[in-house]
Structure 1
Amino acid sequence: MGDGKWRTAGRALMRVTAVWAVSTLTMLVLAGALPDFQLQSDDGDTITKTAFTAAWGAGAFGLLSALVWPVLVRSLLIVPALVLGALVFFLNGSLLLIALRLIPDGRGDAAPETAVVVAAVMSAVASATSTALAVRDDEAYRRRLSRLADRRRRRGRSPDPAEPGRDGPPGTVFLQLDGVGHDVLVEAAADGLMPTVAGWLADSSGHRLTPWRTDWSSQTGASQLAILHGSNHDVPAFRWYEKETRTVMVSSRPASALEMQRRAIRRTHDGGLLTVDGASRGNLFSGGAGQLALVLSMAARRGKGRRSRAGYFAYFSDPANATRTALSFVAEVFREIGQSTRARARKVTPRIKRGGLYPFIRAFATVVERDVVVAAVLGDMFAGRTAVYADLVAYDEVAHHSGPRSRDAEKVLVRLDRSLALIAKIADHTPRAYRIVLLSDHGQSPGETFAGKYGLTLKDLVRAGCGLPVPRRAQRTRSASEARDAVRIALHRPVEGQQDEHPAKLSDPIVLASGNLGLISFPDIGGRATREQIEHRHPALLSTLANHPGIGFLLVGGEDGSVVLGRGGEEVAVAELTDGKGPLASFGAGAADAVRRTDTFPHVADVMVNSMYDPATGTVHAFEEQIGSHGGLGGEQSRPFLLWPRGLTDPLDIVAAETAEGAPPPPGGGLVGAEAVHRVLTRWLQESSGPQVPVRAEGFAGAGLADEPFPAGAPVPDAQAD
């Protein structure tokens, strides 16, 4: 054995010994502090004997955790993630009880509930010790990479020539802060909430920041599909109705996400942004990556390596990760309950209900999903992958329920910044240099919900405008009363008799919401319904909607072309729309082109409804139960950001070059549309790592899921702790 191998073995032995020693000391301290946990016989033992017992128990627990825990987690992949988090404590405590039974002479004993506490503390301490030692040992990283290279060779894949050292082309990590608008990011950095981002924004950091403008559908489904796959054509909203198949497409539904991805690939004829040695983590879509974890579109596929939960196994196979994340999960649940209780006590407005399962959903998004995705990104960097794209959804989830600038949302930004700091720190130890690009898919606009402001939902208003029955609570509202009056006047008869005007063969309108964007479809009208058809059936509907104070404008097709309708009978043909004028006067630059583009989609709704927008306050009215919303036009929801290292070409220079080559200039200037962001990111990958060859294939690339475990000690507890 050469000197290098002896040194390697020596370092590994020292780390194992150090972790064992710390675990032994922890067990001794816990035995002294907890009455139901003992490491001595009933007659008492010497200090040496007690220490030996603790060392034996700590060693047995560590060995069981290393050998048995991964098998347990893999067998529990069928269990929902929220349930798995609760089982972590029970399973870990069970392993500790088994370890105590293995101590000679039966000196170890603990009550079951105490065993859970002891196991959680020991796992956390062992993880912190292992991480602290590994982070300072560059050789440990190189050994990990060597094992990855050997594994690739056994699978018939050649290792990346850039992996052995940091002299090759740099890789790129794209980190998406879901829902964080440009102005929110700048304010958070200036207020000291995000010191890592503030450092990047400093003049000496070499980073630059620019806002970009979303499409009309300002939501993750449309934006991320275009960013990763180059096209979001025919994605009118987060959810929409398709008449030919009588189905509702929902971006967060696996089958819908898979179909959206397939359509984008058929349109662009390539696999996506990540086709060259890429990894997709925590996203709705794969981006053509060969390494996938927690990718929603993959959850609809079956077969070995295609399970959407494989990323959970890779993370939770380390019991210390499982324990730390489970503890943080529980803490987040109680944090949400406390915050919502204070909001009710202080009568904070606007406010929505935050009970039921929401505390657990929030904890999953802000803790479990974050920890797993960050660990996956670190594993990709250790492996030297060329391109990584990861979505961190924590802020978006909290801002929907607490508000984009609430204290709750600010605290999430603080914890996200810690994750960014961890990734930036680890980049100093990876086998290849990495450029970190930070971006968002949309922002959020605040405001009271439509139902909270006017006492009825958009669906109630549509039904009232059609003369259909509405819930009793909505009947008493002014909006419903005005709608019924409009129907009565239009039909010249009492509204109660309107039932005869709707034969049984006519279906009720389908009303869907996507933030402050509403979609109305008439399923029994083939193709896109025209204004004339709608007014023949429901004479009062369009005027009721257009004149409602909570609605900004409508888009509806017509026999002579589509039109946009506003209050007071205002009407403008889509072809003649102009920013700053007519019904779009308050919606800013680019609104006219965004509406025109959506009007060309095959699955645009019969009536597209955008809520009002107040430029003075930046508020909109969501048609869902959200006080921070996105999905339509109006305010900060349409103004996400892009933050990149200065070594990469300025996005505006890329846009200018495209314009010089004959592409139409973006309306209002700047970076407009998620498809433009895709072109920028593709250009940056070419500048960093060479040409990105499109993958042309039937179906799409990246069908498999990574099953390689993340490197030991990857998640640093201090950066992830809550």
Structure 2
Amino acid sequence: MRGVRWRRAVSQAGRSVTVWAVSTLTMLVLAGILPDFRLQSPDGDSATTVAMTAAVGAGVFGVLSALAWPLLVRLLLLVPALVLGLLVFFLNGSLLLLALRLNPSGQSEAAPETAVIVAAVMSAVASATGAALAVRDDDAYRRRLYRLADRRRRGGPACPATHGTVFLQLDGVGHDVLVAAVRKGLMPTVAQWLGDAPAEGGAGAPGSPPRATHRLTHWRTDWSSQTGASQLGILHGSNHDVPAFRWYEKDTGEVMVCNRPTSAAELQRRAVERTGDGGLLSADGASRGNLFGGGADEQALVLSIATRRRSRETRSRAGYFAYFSDPANAVRTALSFVAEVVREIGQSTRARLRGDRPRVGRGGLYPVVRAFATVVERDVVVAAVMGDMLAGRSAVYADLVAYDEVAHHSGPLGRDTEQVLGRLDRALALIETVAEHAPRPYRIVVLSDHGQSPGETFRARYGLTLGDLVRAGCGLPVPRRAERTHSGAEARAAVRAALRRPVEETTGGREPSGRRSEPIVLASGNLGLISFPDVAHRMSKEEIDARHPALLSTLANHPGVGFLLVRSEEHGGVVLGAYGAQIPLDRLDEDPGPLAAFGAGAADAVRRTHGFPHTADIMVNSCLEPADGEVLAFEEQIGSHGGLGGAQARPFLMSPLALSAPARDGAELVGAEHVHRVLRRWLRESEGPQVPLETAPEEPAQEERAA
């Protein structure tokens, strides 16, 4: 044992000396390149003196970074997260200036702006050198990974030997998109887990090689096929009364938006109140990068707590500290961030020059938002998950929003999104590697919250927005130029939360005026919601016809509209379609009418939403082109989700074969609440203390879901 410790100490010393030597050489090279950075006196010094000055400067800088850097970043945790990322470079430069001042030779100096550059390069080189050396030594690599773990575990109880579970949500990646990416060789890690042959049914299914470790299946979303509804149902077991991504509540006069921190907090509160349970992660869990906390003790980058006063227990941006406490991370992420901005500008320029269709605007701040989603959010969340695993947490749920953000603007299929899928696969590979060094075994479950359906926008196809069409049907003046609706992308709100800026929403460019003739029109992908704020209750078809005789027929007969849902005094609820189609909800199974094109389960989804207290006066779903699965988004997105139609309602669930099959007897998983019950069952199978046993049956009765 003593010999092993001796060899380990010698090996560690050798790596430290190597990193020091490389840092010294880097400082010498930078001194020769940069005019405002010198390591010798104006009269000149011998090569030995210059080398010693560089060696001492590199050593002092390394010691200062190791000792002072975590303390400095902790003091700056009150600073908005993205500002902290920028301050990293200036603080790093300050440490270098201090190291030069402490150098006994007294000959070295640098301009402040040059010091920032030198410190950034040296941090990156030292980190890369240390990582390259550690990879050759499994023990060293393991110790390096352990430094990412949450130190709160020290002094706590021993880590249990039971399996922990990591749930990784690839936001917006549909089942068919994942299968296609695997077959194209874009996601080798996923291909290895599936045995290079993704097939429904898992182990023993035809075409499923014995070396597969995971099974792949699909599930069907609710009518509201978006992250707010799906993740609330998955994490908290209830997405009741979430009719869309954004909707107007008449009793409070407020517009609820799933990616607004105040709305997310209220939706989480309602779900907990309805279920009487804290959530999927209520015991020894961690929630990373999500809209909701899931009852986790450890939460970082969680939108529902972004407006709370931080505490030791719940710090919405604590993940940024854990990541930026290493200055090399900031350097690496910053360079990748800039590269992603340049990549987006190049890709959008090529698409415009080629005249690609469909296409939406990708200027303004979008390149920055995309870079945040695909680089900053990914890096911070993955680092947080690694820390959770190395700390031995029982259950971790993390959301990676990169694909969803890019697919909204570039489309769900294409080279832009394929590159993102490849980078997500590398993140999965890194997490798998960390699992090998964790203090307990881990099972990795990968899933998505929804897919995305391609198609041009409603405005691009017809030259007007849904709001314009509603105003025309109400006999109101229609503006000559259609207004751009707000994007429902999750990353946009995450950027605002990181900057501590409120997420503001308007109702199609107009605040509710309360006047009798002004409807409120909101969009959630290809799902539209129309409300009349001056009527306290949900209006019936008869009331709407009496007020605006042409509105419902104008909407139902428009070629871009698939169907409408309205309340009926005679039938309770009806689905309206073109050519006067009017099907009561209780007759949809025998006569689906306009819902026939939307496939199995559409009638149940519509009936369930009809029973929500805050369903809009008129629910509008755009048309579907069954041949190619295209829909028309009411927002400015060429890859959309939020309603029925196409791949948006067909996400995936990929689970280890060691866990039981997601659905019994080959039944289809329907709804996010059903997925929640499956994930709870898997946590119980891991024999951990994460969740209590449930008394409710896992399979809800169909009439219960429709109620």
Alpha-carbon distance in 1 for matches of 2:562, 2:100? 67
Q: Distance in 1 between matches of 2:134 and 2:295?
A: 32
Distance 1:152 1:72, change over 3 A: closer
Q: Quote the offset at 1:175 in angstroms.
A: 0.6
- Cross-structure match for 1:388: 396
Question: For residues 556 and 302 of structure 1, what CA distance do their matches in structure 2 show?
Answer: 41
1:170 alignment partner in structure 2:
163
- Asked whether 1:573 is paired with 2:558, we answer no
Whether the 8 Å CA contact 1:213–1:671 is kept in 2: the answer is yes
Cα-to-partner distance string for 1:387-426 (whole Å, 9 max, x where unaligned):
1111000000000011111211111111111111111112
AA matched with 1:104: P
Aligned to 1:250: 257
Tell me, in whole angstroms, the C-alpha distance in 1 between the residues paired with 2:102 and 2:585.
Answer: 77
Q: Give 1:167-206 correspondences, 5 Å limit.
A: 168-202=161-195, 203=209, 204-206=211-213
Q: State the partner residue of 1:618.
A: 629
2:549 maps to 1:539: yes
2:361 alignment partner, SS class: coil
Question: Relative contact order: is structure 1 or structure 2 higher (C-alpha 8 Å, sep ≥ 6)?
Answer: 1
Matches within 5 A, 1:102-501: 102-135=102-135, 136-138=137-139, 141=142, 151-152=152-153, 157-160=156-159, 162=160, 168-202=161-195, 203=209, 204-305=211-312, 306-473=314-481
**Which one-letter code corresponds to 1:553 in the other structure?**
F
Amino acid at match of 1:626: Q
| DSSP-derived class of the 1:199 partner | helix
Cα distance between partner residues in 2 of 1:374 and 1:517: 32
Measured after TM superposition, the shift of residue 216 of structure 1 is 0.4
Pick which of 78-87 and 260-269 moved more.
Answer: 78-87
Q: Please, which of 658, 676, 679 is the counterpart of residue 678 of structure 1?
A: 676
Cα offset for 1:584? 0.6
Q: Distance in 2 between matches of 1:281 and 1:174?
A: 10
- Taking a change above 3 Å as real, the CA distance of residues 518 and 107 of structure 1, as seen in their structure-2 partners, is same
Secondary structure at 2:436 match in 1: helix
Shift of 1:177: 0.4
Query: Percent sequence identity over matched residues?
Result: 71
Provide Cα deviations, 1:59-88, integer angstroms capped at 9, x if missing partner. 222233233433443344444444443443
Q: Secondary structure at the match of 2:634?
A: coil
- Note the alpha carbon deviations across 1:152-192, whole angstroms, 9 max, x for none: 465xx5333x2xxxxx2221111100000011111111111
For residues 203-256 of structure 1, give each alpha carbon's deviation from its aligned partner in whole angstroms, at most 9, with x where no partner exists. Answer: 313211011111100000000111111111111111111111111111101111
Residue of structure 2 equivalent to 1:715: none
Q: Distance in 2 between matches of 1:139 and 1:112?
A: 35
Distance 2:459 2:78 in 1: 38
Matched residue, 1:508: 518
Q: Is the 8 A contact 2:449 2:651 kept in 1?
A: yes
Going from structure 1 to structure 2, the CA distance change for 1:53 and 1:345 (only over 3 Å counts) comes to same
- Give 1:690 deviation, angstroms: 3.4
Q: Measured at CA, do residues 596 and 369 of structure 1 come closer, stay the same or move farther in structure 2, by a change above 3 Å?
A: same
CA offset at residue 298 of structure 1? Answer: 1.3
Q: Which one of the candidate residues 595, 598, 623 is aligned to 1:584?
A: 595
Match of 1:597 among 583, 587, 608: 608
Q: CA deviation at 1:469?
A: 2.1
Cα deviation for residue 279 of structure 1 reads 0.8
| Cα offset, 1:672, TM superposition | 1.1
Rounded Cα–Cα distance in structure 2 between residues aligned with 1:53 and 1:100: 9
8 Å contact kept, 1:82–1:360:
no
Q: Is the 8 A contact 1:171 1:689 kept in 2?
A: no
1:516-535 equivalent positions in 2, closer than 5 A? 516-535=526-545
Checking the alignment, whether the CA contact within 8 Å between 1:153 and 1:159 is kept in structure 2 is: no
What SS does the aligned partner of 1:173 have? strand
- 2:493 maps to which residue? none
Q: What is the CA–CA distance in structure 2 between the aligned matches of 1:134 and 1:685, rounded to whole Å? A: 34
Single out whichever of 627-636 and 290-299 deviates more from structure 2: 290-299
Work out the CA distance in 1 between the residues paired with 2:629 and 2:344: 26
2:597 is paired with a residue whose SS is coil
Q: Which amino acid aligns with 1:324?
A: R
Question: In the alignment, is the contact (CA less than 8 A) between 1:226 and 1:674 conserved in 2?
Answer: yes
CA offset digits 1:447-490 (Å, max 9, x no partner):
10111111111111111111122212359xxxxxxxxxxxxxxx
Higher mean alpha-carbon deviation, 240-249 vs 44-53, is at 44-53
Structure 2 contact 243–614 (Cα < 8 Å) conserved: yes
Change (3 A) 1:428 1:355: same
Shifted more, 179-188 versus 425-434: the winner is 425-434
Could you tell me which residue of structure 1 aligns to residue 59 of structure 2? Answer: 59
- Deviation per CA, 1:295-333, whole angstroms, max 9, x where unpaired? 111112214233312111111111111111111111111
Question: Partner residue of 1:549?
Answer: 559
Which amino acid is 2:157 matched to? Answer: S
Deviation, structure 1 residue 20: 2.0
- C-alpha RMSD of the superposition: 2.5
The answer as to whether partners of 1:177 and 1:392 remain within 8 angstroms in 2 is yes
SS at match of 1:463: helix
Change (3 A) 1:553 1:269: same
Q: Report the CA distance between 1:525 and its aligned residue.
A: 0.9
Residue 556 of structure 1 aligns with an amino acid whose one-letter code is V
Q: Given residue 284 of structure 2, which amino acid in structure 1 is its aligned partner?
A: D
Q: Give the letter aligned to residue 159 of structure 1.
A: A
Mark the CA change 1:390 to 1:227 in structure 2 (over 3 Å): closer, same or farther.
Answer: same
Classify the secondary structure of the residue corresponding to 2:219. strand
Q: SS at the partner of 1:314?
A: helix
Letter of the structure 1 residue corresponding to residue 633 of structure 2:
A
Q: What amino acid sits opposite 2:124 in the alignment?
A: A
**Do the aligned partners of residues 546 and 147 (structure 1) sit closer, same or farther apart at CA in structure 2, a change above 3 Å counting?**
closer
CA contact (8 A) 1:275 1:695 kept: no
User: How many residues are matched?
Assistant: 648
User: CA 1:430–1:231 in 2, change beyond 3 Å: closer, same or farther?
Assistant: same
Structure 1's 571 and 147: CA in aligned 2 closer, same or farther, altered over 3 A? closer
Corresponding residue number in structure 2 for 1:720: none
AA aligned opposite 2:278: G
Give me the TM-score of the superposition, normalised by structure 2. Answer: 0.87
Pair 1:134–1:376, CA change in 2 (3 A): farther
Kindly tell me: are residues 76 and 580 of structure 1, through their superposed partners in 2, closer, same or farther at Cα, counting changes over 3 Å?
A: farther
Aligned partner of 2:70: which letter?
P
| Whole-angstrom CA distance in 1 between matches of 2:109 and 2:10 | 34
- Worse overlay, 580-589 or 445-454: 580-589
User: Displacement, 1:521?
Assistant: 0.9
Work out whether residues 580 and 587 of structure 1, in 8 Å CA contact, stay in contact via their aligned partners in 2. Answer: no
Aligned to 1:485: none
Q: Which amino acid aligns with 2:356?
A: V
Q: Which residue identity does 1:604 align to in structure 2?
A: T
Question: Residue type of the partner of 1:281?
Answer: R
Counterparts of 2:403 and 2:168, CA distance in 1: 13
Structure-2 separation of matches of 1:431 and 1:58: 35
